[in-house]
Amino acid sequence: MQASIEELHEQFYAETNYEIKDNFKCWQIYAQWLEKLVINKLNQKLISENKKLRESYYEVIDILENALTDRLS
C-alpha cells in the first residue's frame, strides 16, 4: 500500500523538520528524500529476494550432496 501525498509530507516533516513550501530549496530536499525512500524500499526487496535465492541454492546443494552420498554408499 502506497502512502498518500499528505502522509509523505508529514513523514518528511517528521524526519527533516522541513515544511514543503513554494521554495526550490525545500522541493529539492524533498525530492532527494523521496529518492532515498524509494532506494531504501528497493534495497529491502533486493535483500529479501537474495535471501530466498540463497535458501534455494542451499536446498539444491543439500539435495545434490544427499544424492551423491547415497550413490557412493
Kindly provide the b/e burial profile for residues 19-55, where b requires at least 16 CB atoms within 10 angstroms of the residue's own CB: eeeeeeeeeeebeebeeeeeeeeeeeeeeeeeeeeee
pLDDT for the residue numbered 24: 82
* Number of alpha carbons in the 13 Å side-chain half-sphere of residue 47: 6
pLDDT for residue 1: 62
* 61 Cβ neighbours under 8 A, 6+ residues apart: none
Average pLDDT for 2-26: 86
Proportion of the chain above pLDDT 70, given as a percent: 99
Mean pLDDT, residues 10-25: 86
